Amino acid sequence: SLTGSPVILKILQNWVPRVSHYFDKEHYTYVGHQIVIQESIEHFGAVVWPGALALSQYLESNQEQFNLKDKKVLEIGAGTGLLSIVACILGAHVTATDLPEVLENLSYNISRNTQNLNMHKPEVRKLVWGEGLNEDFPVSTYHYDFILATDVVYHHGALDPLLATMVHFCKPGTVLLWANKFRFSTDYEFLEKVSNIFNTTILAEFPESNVKLLKATVREN
């Protein structure tokens, strides 16, 4: 069951597109910092999708509601790393995760955009949804204040492992922030599954981009 009435927002065009033949370098500005993102056309995960822009913008504008300073933040499906970089600038201890083939570009973007900043050094780790969670991220050791996920739901076969991954990391006290472009019935079916498991609120909607931003927390018995 979904609660709350969402704010209606627009994704602001706060970047300057620069086009090159193979790699696009996109220039963004968040929290007063210029962020340069290298995209790769070879992988889905290596392009900046609208959910990442929406959640980056929302975190920047709602720092009192979601204060990331000194908090432990895990991003699943971090892609190009834009959102992890923004969380880092906002003062979080960030762990950015994705599939092995995306990690090189992800690491490059994160180190390039955070190396000269006085902040917690972000970590980049491999995470295949639903695989090796108890071995690689045992609950006894790893507790996160925030789980961030953007545009992780689209036409792919890993929706059940994705849900299992969210359940693994979302413990009492953890806030899951998930922004997604809603296009297909499968997107809404996944939302329904999330709502059945967690206390779920739609925080914001970006109608022009079909993006919804949700907050989910564990149901306390």
Residue 98 belongs to a domain: yes
**Which tens digits make up the pLDDT trace of 33-88?**
999 998 876 666 667 889 999 999 999 999 999 999 999 999 999 999 999 999 99
Residue 73 belongs to a domain: yes
The predicted model gives 23-40 an average pLDDT of 84
Residue 124 belongs to a domain: yes
**CATH classification of the domain holding 69:** 3.40.50.150
Residue 162 belongs to a domain: yes
Integer Cα distance of 160 and 178 in angstroms: 16
Q: Which of 90, 149, 145 is nearest to 114 (CA)?
A: 90
Residue 1 belongs to a domain: no
Amino acid symbol at 14: N
**Which tens digits make up the pLDDT trace of 173-192?**
999 999 999 998 999 999 99
Q: Is 171 exposed, middle or buried (0-12, 13-18, 19+ CB in 10 A)?
A: middle
Band of pLDDT at residue 24, cut at 50, 70 and 90: low
Beta strands in the chain (DSSP E): 2-3, 7-8, 15-16, 25-30, 33-38, 72-76, 93-98, 123-126, 146-150, 175-181, 198-206, 211-218
- For position 175, what pLDDT does the model report? 98
Q: Which of 95, 82, 89, 162 is nearest to 130 (CA)?
A: 162
Give the domain extent around 151. Answer: 7-218
> Across all residues in the chain, what is the average pLDDT?
90
Count structural domains, the chain: 1
Is the dihedral angle over the CA atoms 170, 176, 179, 183 positive or is it negative? positive
Read off the tokens for 135. Answer: 């071995």
| Residue 152 pLDDT greater than 90, yes or no | yes
Read off the tokens for 132. Answer: 């090796």
| Residue 116 pLDDT greater than 90, yes or no | no
Token match 């059945």: residue? 196
Read off the tokens for 200. Answer: 């779920």
Q: Which helix or strand (DSSP H or E) is residue 103 part of? A: helix 103-114
